[in-house]
Amino acid sequence: MKAGVVIAATAALTVGLGACSGGSGGGDSSKTIVFSTWGSADELAIYKKFDAAFMKKHPDITVKLQPVASYSDYHSKLLAQLASNTAPDVFYVGDDKIGQFVDSGRLMDMTTLMNSSASQSKVADFYPGLFGAAVKDGKYYAAPNDSNPDVLWYDKIALKKAGITQDPATLAAEGKWTTATYLDMNDKLKAAGLTGSIFWNYWSTHYSWISSQGGTAYDSNGKFVGDTDPKTVAAVDQLGTYFQAKKFIAADTLPEGAGADSLFATHKTGFYVEGRYGIATAQQSGDPKAYDIAPWPTPDGKAAPTGVATSYLAINKQTKAKGAAFTFWTEFLSAQGQTFRLQGAGNAVPSIKGADKVVLEDNYPAHAKTFLEMRNIGFEDYATEARVPNLSTDISDLYLKLYQGQSTAKDTLDQSAALIKSKTGQ
């Protein structure tokens, strides 16, 4: 983020916090809280700016940032700290780990505090599909700090090379962005010697495709039904067919030096499924205006719910500074807090109402509003699955076998059902 933007954002946040309810939420004074997260150097710099503005507003509270460089190491370290009562007061949790942390009994129940007069981030302020496994038995143990809808970034130059004249975003706006049209574009891209679409092999890819094609993976009670739902079986079969034909490619399987970002930035693929952080990928090309975004296609062209990745902010149940921790937590998640963290070169989409202007501020990509529309109706990983450590990863491994032609759609779904039942009892 440019220095001028950071300075302006810091000033804006200080003013914003000054206009919010004061105090530390529980009468704590001269308290120190430890905030832990992972993140890139740029992201950590933004957190430090937030902490500085927060402490200026609340001189009785000291915030100490405790970063962990590696996401893969972060959660195991945090679990060990929670077990030994040495954990930070406030911390991030990944969406693939939140269910495990909720079930550990180590997170504070935020339900009452979120809906209190001191809260700047009430339950109703968030988009409901983003809570995922952070909710258990009607209680909220964390809240999404921001979000990333998996949109279809597309390259106009690659589409033109394949003889494609229709624009996906325009078709979507007209209600004509159909599955048939999208697959036809992938056929043409492949025929032109290009890659059709690149996906990451994780829960959002297969469940977004199932949902967008009218299938049902889990019912309203959280029971996996994908193995018996005809539309789901057909959707997964279609997905597998395009992967096996190499019209779709899993980014996870690409060799070093020829990764997904490189292929997309050099106009060698038509579509690349990413969140708002795809802005950085488009900028690598030197011609970011060649890229835009569209939602997932559907059989009838009408928008359907698809996957939205998030991470969560939680409070240590054993914190000795409950009031100060909550004040930091609620202001970090507030519309002002999310605006500060995401404006300028932000790489995510707000999870709370009142901060959407950060997505539209630079008018990039041209159809940036699509991020918001997809977030509004999107969903996090299914709670049944997300509560079990590594279950989502194990299921993704089953899909990879399908993509590589080592399994059928029905076998993939049957094996998923058996695995889910063995892990959850459902």
The secondary structure of 42-73 as a DSSP string is HHHHHHHHHHHHHHHH-TTEEEEEEE-S-HHH
Structure tokens given for 152: 């279809």
For residue 242, being part of any structural domain is answered with yes
Judge if 20 and 142 occupy the same domain. Answer: yes
Give me the mean pLDDT over the 14-41 stretch: 61
- Residue 382 inside a domain? The answer is no
Summarised one tens digit per residue, pLDDT across range 97-141 is 999 999 999 999 999 999 999 999 999 999 999 999 999 999 999
Do 279 and 414 lie in a common domain? yes
Shared-domain flag, residues 189 and 264: yes
Specify if 70 maps to a domain. yes
- Domain assignment present for residue 60? The answer is yes
Residues 354, 328: one domain?
Answer: yes
| Cα end-to-end distance, the chain, whole Å | 46
Integer CA distances (angstroms), 198 to 108, 252, 268, in order = 39, 10, 11
The answer for residues whose C-beta is within 8 angstroms of residue 408's C-beta and 6 or more apart is: 237, 240, 402
| Residue of 229, 233, 251, 202 lying closest to 386 (CA atoms) | 202
Supply the Cα-derived Rg of the chain in whole angstroms. 22
- Pinpoint the alpha helices (H) of 87-195: 98-103, 111-114, 156-161, 168-173, 179-191
47 and 168 within one domain? no
Residue 11 confidence (pLDDT) above 50: no
Q: Are residues 45 and 80 in the same domain?
A: yes
SS3 11: helix
pLDDT in tens, 338-351: 999 998 767 999 99
Print the domain residue range for 401: 151-306+388-424
Residue 326 belongs to a domain = yes
Could you report the per-residue pLDDT of 293-316, keeping only the tens digit for each? 999 999 999 999 999 999 999 999
Of 67-76, 155-164, 193-202, 331-340, the range with the lowest mean pLDDT is 67-76
Same domain for 8 and 140?
Answer: yes
For tokens 């969406």, the residue is: 95
Quickly state the pLDDT bin for 1 (edges 50, 70, 90).
very low
DSSP conformation class of 25 = S
Of the candidates 118, 153, 420, 121, which has an alpha carbon nearest to the alpha carbon of residue 276?
153
Total tally of structural domains belonging to the chain: 2
pLDDT at 23 over 50: no
In a domain, 227, yes or no: yes
pLDDT tens readout for residues 197-228: 999 999 999 999 999 999 999 999 999 999 99
- 141 with 9, same domain? yes
Whole-number pLDDT of residue 345 = 63
Q: pLDDT value at position 30?
A: 53
Residues 129 and 198 in one domain: no
Stretch 70-77: mean pLDDT? 92
Q: Which two tokens stand for residue 94?
A: 């990944």
Same-domain check for residues 45 and 100: yes
Report yes or no on 383 lying in a domain: no
- The verdict on 158 and 108 lying in the same domain is no
User: Is the preceding peptide bond at 128 cis, omega within 30 degrees of 0?
Assistant: no
399 occurs within a structural domain: yes
Do 334 and 268 reside in the same domain of the chain? Answer: no
CATH number of residue 49's parent domain: 3.40.190.10
Percentage of the chain exceeding pLDDT 70: 93
Q: What value does the mean pLDDT take over residues 257-264? A: 90
Nearest to 270 by CA among 152, 361, 176: 152
Q: Token pair of 256, please?
A: 């070093």
